[in-house]
């Protein structure tokens, strides 16, 4: 992240859900390195603690809260605690997400709703808890939602994920319009396939599928979590001051695969 100046986010409180692993972990480390007070939140304490310790060892400031983004009361309580214990939030990254591979015809309603609840309802609850405080205080802020390219191009074997990410795109654009006048910017980043702890365990388990997917990516490789960091930094910074309601794909061109013959 040496393209961003040192101390870029000094004095800024950045909340990242799902910050203990994968893309969220990479974001937490990068924001920490650039001076932000990083707050990460997810269900498991172990990965969160490791990230906080890593940031602190590097001279940064971070803390964690355990929460399930589906739990409305806990979300409200944790956001209230962050405001009191860390300070007013400046940037919220709704990164926590869930997914698994299943043919639509075989998926239980419980499985479908679980992914909708984590991805879409969770992003709504977090945005509402933070956004209400911004509106009440008359201060602006930036929300960055982690969507995915499967929101737009069909989502075979992941019908729940694609529907949730399409919902996140709509949430992003609606909140951008409703809250723009109050100085709140809301944008979404749409990664294509990324190698992470969570996705390697649940999605990219078959090396033949991985190879096929990789062959269809114009830039010739899967993304690593770090590939997603730069655009989030850009959106959170002053350089993104006039972007709101934007949906930005970060996929090495993978979403265009059907155009290649
Ligand atoms: C192949 C084409 C590729 C094209 C490329 C497109 C571009 C890429 C797009 C990728 C988009 C998004 C990717 C990601 O999100 S990767 C992130 C992965 N990380 C995680 O999922 C981490 C968190 N996940 C979890 O915690 C769990 O996996 C889960 C989401 C299931 C939630 O856990 P929870 O404990 O709350 O849920 P339960 O275990 O109680 O299960 C709830 C119901 O879901 C059913 N279920 C769970 N797993 C499966 C499975 N593997 N298969 C089928 N059904 C499953 C479970 O049975 C429960 O159902 P019921 O309520 O009916 O009992
Ligand atoms: N990997 C990929 O190919 C792609 C990923 N994405 C998106 O990027 C984001 C990050 O995914 P990725 O890093 O790959 O996956 P990971 O599984 O590594 O990270 C997901 C994180 O979300 C947290 N989380 C999951 N459910 C909940 C919940 N109910 N409440 C709070 N936290 C939760 C997990 O922590 P814990 O289990 O401790 O709660 C975990 O740290 C997700 O939104 C995903 O949909 C988008 C496109 C492609």
Query: What pLDDT, in 10s, does the model give residues 182-227?
Result: 999 999 999 999 999 999 999 999 999 899 999 989 999 999 999 9
Across 159-174, b (16+ Cβ under 10 Å) vs e yields: bbbbbbbbbbbebbbe
Would you tell me how many other CB atoms lie within 10 Å of the CB of residue 109?
7
Interface confidence (ipTM) of the complex: 0.99
CA of 201, closest atom in ligand 2: 17
Centre of ligand 2 to C-alpha 180, Å, is: 27
What are the tokens at 129? 């808890």
Domains and CATH numbers, the chain: 13-249 (3.40.50.720)
Per the model's pLDDT, the better-predicted residue between 66 and 259 turns out to be 66
User: What is the enclosing helix (H) or strand (E) of 190?
Assistant: strand 184-191
Q: Among the residues of 87-158, which ranges form H helices?
A: 109-116, 122-137
Could you tell me where the beta strands, DSSP code E, fall in 12-124? 13-17, 37-42, 61-66, 91-94
Q: Residue 259 above 60 pLDDT?
A: no
C-alpha closest to that of 234 among 87, 93, 72, 68: 93
For ligand 1, say whether the CB of 102 is within 6 Å of any of its atoms: yes
pTM of the model: 0.98
Q: Residue 25 above 80 pLDDT?
A: yes
What's the pLDDT at 258? 62
DSSP 8-class letter at 80? H
For the chain, give the percent of residues with pLDDT over 70.
98
Average pLDDT over residues 228-242: 98
Please work out, in degrees rounded to the nearest 5, the angle formed at the alpha carbon of residue 227 by the alpha carbons of 219 and 261: 20
Centre of ligand 1 to C-alpha 102, Å, is: 9
For ligand 1, say whether the CB of 202 is within 6 Å of any of its atoms: yes
Q: Measure CA of the first residue to CA of the last residue in the chain; give whole Å.
A: 36
For ligand 2, say whether the CB of 145 is within 6 Å of any of its atoms: no
Burial of 44 (C-beta count, 10 Å sphere; 0-12/13-18/19+): exposed
Question: For ligand 2, atom 41, which residue shows the shortest CA distance?
Answer: 18
- Residue 220 makes CB contacts below 8 A (sequence gap 6+) with 214, 252
């Amino acid at each position: 992240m040496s393209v961003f100046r040192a101390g870029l986010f000094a004095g800024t409180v950045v909340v990242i859900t799902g910050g203990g692993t994968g893309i969220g972990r990479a974001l937490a480390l990068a924001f920490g390195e650039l001076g932000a007070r990083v707050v990460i939140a997810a269900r498991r304490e172990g990965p969160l603690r490791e990230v906080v310790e890593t940031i602190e060892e590097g001279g940064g400031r971070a803390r964690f809260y355990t929460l399930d983004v589906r739990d409305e009361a806990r979300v409200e309580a944790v956001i209230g605690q962050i405001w009191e214990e860390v300070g007013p939030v400046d940037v919220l990254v709704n990164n926590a997400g869930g997914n698994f591979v299943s043919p639509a015809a075989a998926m239980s309603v419980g499985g479908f709703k679980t992914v909708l609840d984590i991805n879409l309802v969770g992003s709504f609850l977090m945005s509402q808890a933070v956004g209400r405080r911004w509106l009440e205080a008359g201060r602006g802020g930036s929300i960055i939602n982690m969507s995915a390219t499967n929101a737009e191009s069909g989502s075979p074997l992941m019908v729940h994920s694609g529907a949730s990410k399409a919902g996140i795109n709509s949430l992003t654009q609606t909140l951008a319009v409703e809250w723009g006048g109050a100085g709140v910017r809301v944008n979404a980043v749409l990664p294509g396939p990324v190698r992470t702890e969570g996705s390697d365990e649940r999605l990219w388990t078959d090396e033949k599928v991985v190879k096929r997917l990789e062959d269809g990516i114009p830039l010739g490789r899967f993304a690593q979590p770090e590939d997603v960091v730069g655009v989030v930094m850009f959106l959170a910074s002053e350089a993104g001051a006039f972007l709101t309601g934007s949906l930005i794909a970060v996929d090495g061109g993978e979403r265009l695969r059907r155009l290649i013959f």
